[in-house]
Amino acid sequence: MGNLRVKSKEKTILVVDDEEGIRESVREILSDEGYRVIEASDGTKVLDLIRKERPDLVLLDIWMPGVDGIGLLKQIKEEEPEVHVIMISGHGNIHTAVAATKLGAFDFIEKPLSLDGLLLAARRALAQSPAFKIPERDGGRPKKGKGGRRPRTSRSVKAAVRSFKQKTLKKSVVISGQGLHSGIKTGVILHPLPPNSGILFSGISADATVPAYLDYVGSTGYATSLRGKGIQVGTVEHFLAVLHSYGISNLLVKMQGEIPIMDGSALEFCHLIEEAGVKEEEEEWSEIVVDRPYQIGVKGGECISIEPADTFGVRYLLNYPNPVGVQEYTYVYKGPESFKEEIAPARTFGFLKDIEKLEQLGLVNGGRLSNCILIDDEKVINTELRFANEFARHKILDIVGDFYLLGRPIRGMITAHMTGHTDNIALLREIKKGMALQRPTLS
């Protein structure tokens, strides 16, 4: 924990818990970090203590004899809305966390407490959080070789690398849903993060995090999943496509195992970001400018490539037997509205003949008529298509999400034919290797 120590300037934290051992452990660790700690063994005098001591943060147990922690949270936020409250529970789950966040809790952590997770949550609440650093502006340019000269490329990019303000959300927001592959009812809680934090996924307690970065891709079978020490996050691509398109660079994403599938598209995640509001931060970051063509070829004619361009775009061509047939779409990014209108509404699709195989693999346990377009040998059987080429557009949605795993916006034109997540990730690895891109590191 020594590398996490910060100067607290006597920030005051109120710890409310009926278990003396927990209060003692929390008091010791917080005091050792330089915080002023006050305590309460029940919730009856919490509001009086807040008025008298004016704490910067309240750690509030949900389950205490005679007191409803959720009800007390509501009272605190009504009477003292500026005070940050982190809820603590030994019997919580993602649904309790979602309920607490909706009532204004800054965060929610589980017992037994991870001291690292507790400190990180407290520091985020007090705007003192260490996090993952976004690489400094190399602009995606190739590094200099021996003699100071840059490696030659078949096509070089002469356009200047553009810089943008980093962005997070204006407030925490939540959404509930079901995991497509796990079948588990889950949810997502989004918390703003300071500049240079990156996109971090965590469980409810946030004692382990995994960054949305290529090096942490765990699997690509039917969805893109991330894996870090002590945490795995499934089906991230639709959500990451929204963050990519809205330019969100710093965010903590708390979930339980898998990002919910919602209606099979990314539209509800767009609404969630808009509900929270996008906040520009003082620090800047730069785009990755593709320096030359890169390509991945797959047996059977499938391939995906990227080449230098003035903007970011994706052209996708698919060719399935009837009733799908040939579909093609070209998308050029012109801002979040273009993404929201053209790509975000396109839903996940699947063929009835493949469902049994997927079920045997332990997948699509959360597949429902409402969250996946189902196709038999003759027609779409459960819905009306939103676009004539909705399947091609959905493939573009997956690519936009996967391509945010380089950690920054990218400039280049992608062309893909009958490819999927595995091919997307393979191309990203070629780009990373060819351009010597750096991965985020702990600050």
DSSP-derived secondary structure for 182-212: T--EEEEEEEE--TT--EEEE-TT-SSEEES
Q: What is the DSSP letter of 263?
A: T
Q: Which amino acid is at 221?
A: G
Long-range (24+ apart) CB contacts under 8 A made by 357-365 are 358/222, 361/221, 362/181, 363/181, 363/221, 363/222, 364/180, 364/181, 364/222, 365/179, 365/181, 365/182, 365/183
Instruction: Take residue 45 and report the two structure tokens written for it.
Output: 């005098």
Instruction: Take residue 161 and report the two structure tokens written for it.
Output: 């690398």
| CA–CA separation, 340 and 346 (whole Å) | 10
| CA–CA separation, 119 and 128 (whole Å) | 10
Instruction: For 263-293, give one letter per residue: b (16+ CB within 10 A) or e.
Output: bbbbbbbbbbbeebeeeebeeebbbbbbbbe
Nearest to 346 by CA among 373, 309, 377: 373
Active site residues: 421
CA angle 12, 18, 23 (to 5 degrees): 45
Q: What is the DSSP letter of 347?
A: P
| CA–CA separation, 143 and 156 (whole Å) | 13
Instruction: Take residue 193 and report the two structure tokens written for it.
Output: 């993060």
| CA–CA separation, 33 and 102 (whole Å) | 30
Q: Which amino acid is at 284?
A: E
DSSP-derived secondary structure for 396-416: HHHHHHHGGGGSS-EEEEEEE
Collapse the DSSP code of 298 into the 3-class scheme (helix H, G, I; strand E, B; otherwise coil) and give the result. coil
CB 382 within 8 A of CB 374: yes
